[in-house]
Amino acid sequence: MTLFPIPDEALDDRLAIVGTSGSGKTYAMTTAVERLLDRKSKVVMIDPLGVSWGIRLKANGKDAAFPVVIFGGDHADIDITEQSGKLIGEAIAGAAESAVIDLSNLGTKSAERRFMLGFLEAMYRNSTGEPFHLIFDEADLWAPQRSMEPQLQGLMENIVRRGRVKGFIPWLITQRPAVISKDVLSQADGLVAMKLTAKQDRDALGAWIEGQADKAEQKEFNAKLPTMQRGHGILWIPGRGILQSVKFPTKTTFDSSSTPKRGEKRQSASLKPIDIGSLKAAIAAIEAEKTKPKQVARTTSTAATTIVQPEPAALRAAEDRGRAAGFDEGRRVGFAEGEKAALKKAQSALGAIQADEPTLAALPARAAQPLVVGKEIVLPPQKMKPAIKMAYGVGTQMPKAERLVLTALAQYPSGRTKVQIAILTGYASSGGGFNNALSALRTKGWLTGHGQLSITDAGIEALGEYEPLPSGEALLQHWLNQLAKAERAALLVLAQAWPRALTKEEVADQAGYEAKGGGFNNALSRLRTLELISGRGELRASDDLFDEAA
């Protein structure tokens, strides 16, 4: 009997399982799901291929196995349409049952994306916070490197990067690491790499491996992948000290994903009904609430006055508009107040510097961030941008870039990606000065990792006392004060829209520029280089501008 290769405690990590078609990755994933269901964990499987329904039957194809509710596909307990994603997501978010979301009968990729957008939005919004596994088979469909659906891409990034606070434990299954978003794949805590023959797919794992191994280990790792036998792989979970070749055991449930060999007949099986009363009732209640007739406004007349009872939906819509208007006004005022407070603090700090202390040169005057009035960008009078005070304390003297990097990492003990650290410290992640600083810190033993960076105990000691760098809205404010006029205007428009994406034309219109103008396009190029925004046809502010310190 083959022991299961992934430790039980590691099943609650964010895992990526990669391998070519026929390498056994879906089979391996199912063996892991069986273990989760054995311990009564809630599991939701996204299945675009229609091959996961066998989890309901034992291997003989006759006896019942796990009571997983199947939404959609040829074996559906509850049918779905491309418009029902929101309804299904809301129902599953509050349910205890495990589920398979079978998208195989929706017909088109665009229909699948429409369903998934509504489904993931509802799941994220209505999650109770109770842990559950959300498994994305063919994950590159929902988080491709080049996305046709920026909103869906943004949701996937949020779920994989920040979903743990909502209860999400995401697993990513793909046969094409080269085409899945690197921002999504890089967030995996562990990797199961099965047979990969294409060089570009093996190379795509490089960024994930880079922070965990030296070049010799990486070369050895890549060399093994093209010749892996079906069901075999390399299990790598750096946080748990696991790096080993593994073989996955035989499934205990029906192999509904098997492909018959030439001359073989596909094994058939039929599912027995299960009790889905509670889920059906929940869906019916949600649907009834959303589709009940609108209440007609009632008037009560008296001799002196007429009282109008507002329609509930209209009242909620008015409240939403009020909240949105209040948020926009609060953010505008907050930016202005934040700049005022930061300037006061910077002036106080500069005045306190003694002649024998490291000197912070006065920064040149720069226009403050633009404020949006309607669609017009209004620039306030120029003010000196607030300086970041770097306290030298009792720590070791070191170059500015190195100190900034260590300061940023000291604020995030769990580590941050290279791009996140670049944004926090004000550098481009591809810049020579930034990368030289990282190299120097690794050599000194003050920093570890490549893709994901962490400060060492020696680095904390060398840093000594420090004043934290801006994070959250203060970080956005800091960047707005660093940028040129067109860059500031474009970034502010996208920051106000975040997490939504806007078209290039929408950004140009709201920022007061021509979408085809050279100055505007140069500004967008600069913001992309700094990785403050992403996208081309549709643009989106970086999520890392809105992270608070851990």
| CATH code of the domain in which 55 resides | 3.40.50.300
pLDDT in tens, 84-106: 999 999 999 988 999 999 999 99
Six token digits for residue 356: 């024998």
pLDDT in tens, 29-55: 999 999 999 999 999 999 999 999 999
Buried-state track 267-298, b at ≥16 Cβ within 10 A, e below 16: eebebeeeebeebeebbeebeeeeeeeeeeee
Residue 527 has pLDDT above 60, yes or no: yes
Residue 294: inside a domain, yes or no? Answer: no
The count of domains in the chain is 2
Write the CATH number for 445. 1.10.10.10
Is the CB of residue 273 less than 8 Å from the CB of residue 76?
Answer: no
pLDDT at 103: 96
Q: Which residue has the higher pLDDT, 421 or 381?
A: 421
* pLDDT confidence band for 276 (50 / 70 / 90): confident
Q: Is 99 helix (H, G, I), strand (E, B) or coil?
A: strand
* pLDDT confidence band for 397 (50 / 70 / 90): confident
pLDDT at 136: 97
Look at residues 200, 187, 178 and name the one whose alpha carbon lies nearest to residue 158. Answer: 187
Residues 6+ apart with CB under 8 A from 281: none
Residue 499: inside a domain, yes or no? Answer: no
Residue 420: inside a domain, yes or no? Answer: yes
Residue 52: inside a domain, yes or no? Answer: yes
Is the same domain home to 429 and 280? no
* pLDDT confidence band for 301 (50 / 70 / 90): very low
Domain boundary pick from 432, 448, 463: 463
Backbone angles phi, psi at 264, to 5 degrees: -85, 155
Mean predicted confidence (pLDDT) in 193-205: 87
Residue 530: inside a domain, yes or no? Answer: no
Residue 512: inside a domain, yes or no? Answer: no
Residue 540: inside a domain, yes or no? Answer: no
**Antiparallel, parallel or unpaired: β 416-417 and 365-367:** unpaired
Domain boundary pick from 285, 304, 337: 285
Is the same domain home to 281 and 421? no
Mean predicted confidence (pLDDT) in 26-31: 94
pLDDT at 379: 47
Residues 6+ apart with CB under 8 A from 357: 392
Residue 501: inside a domain, yes or no? Answer: no
Six token digits for residue 61: 């194809």
Beta bridge partners of 17: 173, 192
* pLDDT confidence band for 347 (50 / 70 / 90): low
Please tell me the distance from the alpha carbon of residue 53 to that of residue 61, in angstroms, as a whole number. 11
pLDDT in tens, 106-122: 988 889 999 999 999 99
Buried-state track 463-498, b at ≥16 Cβ within 10 A, e below 16: bbebeebbbebbbbbbbbbbbebbbbbbbbbbbbbb
Please tell me the distance from the alpha carbon of residue 363 to that of residue 365, in angstroms, as a whole number. 7
pLDDT at 2: 61
Please tell me the distance from the alpha carbon of residue 521 to that of residue 262, in angstroms, as a whole number. 56
Q: Is 277 helix (H, G, I), strand (E, B) or coil?
A: helix
Residues 6+ apart with CB under 8 A from 244: 5, 234, 235
Please tell me the distance from the alpha carbon of residue 287 to that of residue 290, in angstroms, as a whole number. 5
Domain boundary pick from 266, 285, 304: 285
The boundaries of the domain holding residue 410 are: 400-463
pLDDT at 66: 95
Single pTM value for the model: 0.54
Six token digits for residue 406: 């260590």
Torsion sign, CA atoms 297, 302, 306, 308: negative
